[in-house]
Structure 1
Amino acid sequence: MKKSVLLKHIGKRIKDIRVGKGLSQVDLVGRIEGKIDTTNISRIESGRTNPTIFTLYRIAEALEVQLSEITGFQETNEN
């Protein structure tokens, strides 16, 4: 899978989950600890930036979903 396709897929999943929960980008940013703003969320949702795995994890926590729901990849229980 091309990087651009993957980033758009992840961004669409984040937006779909956020909208499905009735949250605005401002609402989502308010739930995330750390330095992230609506510009970052907009860029992630549109696939225009490559977020770190930690950023994706924090977004997943804020949306109250598993990281795998955003990425489409299965999580493992390895330490």
Structure 2
Amino acid sequence: MSSMEKSELFKAVGKRIKELREAKGLTQVDLAGKMEGEFDTTNVSRIEAGRTNPTLYNLYRIAVALEVDLEELVRVF
């Protein structure tokens, strides 16, 4: 596994989330709506763009909403 800068990691995870979301035919609004608890669409946008560091719990919530394992969600290598 190669070393990755923090910003590169955020972008790679965000890109992976976007790929999985689009493969399921979901919009960012759909994804936010499927997540347990309240989650704003702008947060989905920031995560997918790699502009924020999502918490482990939020990554878990996204994985559940996308019906994938957390491991699959963060697989960037």
> Do both share a fold (TM > 0.5)?
yes
In structure 1, the partner of 2:35 is: 32
* Number of corresponding residues: 73
In structure 1, the partner of 2:64 is: 61
In structure 2, the partner of 1:76 is: none
CA separation in 2, counterparts of 1:21 and 1:11?
Answer: 16
- Structure 1 residue 36: Cα displacement: 1.3
Structure 2 stretches of 5 or more lacking a match? none
Asked if 1:43 corresponds to 2:37, the answer is: no
In structure 1, the partner of 2:22 is: 19
Alignment TM-score, normalising by the size of structure 2: 0.90
Structure 1 stretches of 5 or more lacking a match? 74-79
- Structure 1 residue 16: Cα displacement: 0.3
Greater RCO (Cα-Cα under 8 Å, separation 6 or more): 2
Asked if 1:5 corresponds to 2:12, the answer is: no
Report percent identity of matched pairs. 63
Give the counterpart letter for 1:54 in structure 2.
Y
Alignment TM-score, normalising by the size of structure 1: 0.88
Conservation of the 8 A alpha-carbon contact between 2:33 and 2:39: no
- Structure 1 residue 35: Cα displacement: 2.8
